[in-house]
Amino acid sequence: MSGDNIIGREYESDYEVSYEKVKEYVRVLDDNNPYYTDREFVKSLDGGHPFAPPTFAAIYCQPALENLYFDPEFSNLIPRLVHGEQEYHFHEPVRAGDIIHTNAVIDKNYTKTNQAGKIHRIFEIKTTSSNQDNKLVCTGLYTLLFRGE
């Protein structure tokens, strides 16, 4: 696959942020921050729902990325996938009850040759996530490396 024909492809998903998922997530992080875990505490502050930690972006962005992984142009490459890196920029906070719409766009495609002469393919995917009020909550950049054969 040259990859040139895939630049600009878009993948979308919606994710409903539930209090239960936020609690599961912060339990794994061993984070007992009351802004994430205590409904009554947060309600007493502003009448709203608990917040999701910023790194919860990895959860609500994943369904859009999964759509990319199931694209026939990508699915045969997945066994050679190495996660390169990811970067997030946060905007509006995400709260339990929000419905987050994520759009993922394949932005760049290039190759790098390692010392052994294997050619690795690299894709950069940009994500934009907004809440149900069309407020931007997060932008992201994922770098995916597919090892050469």
pLDDT of 12 > 80? The answer is: yes
Average pLDDT, the chain: 93
pLDDT digits (tens, 9 = 90+) for 98-116: 999 999 999 999 999 989 9
- Band of residue 69 on the pLDDT scale cut at 50, 70, 90: confident
Q: CA–CA separation, 139 vs 131, rounded Å?
A: 12
Q: What is the DSSP letter of 92?
A: S
Q: How far is CA 66 from CA 28, 30, 50, 72, 130, in A?
A: 22, 27, 27, 12, 18
pLDDT of 57 > 70? The answer is: yes
pLDDT digits (tens, 9 = 90+) for 37-46: 999 999 999 9
Nearest-10 Cα torsion for 58, 98, 106, 78: 40
Fold of 4-17+54-146: Thiol Ester Dehydrase; Chain A (3.10.129)
Domain positions in the chain: 4-17+54-146
Q: Which residue has the higher pLDDT, 148 or 34?
A: 34
pLDDT digits (tens, 9 = 90+) for 70-109: 888 778 888 888 888 999 999 999 999 999 999 999 999 9
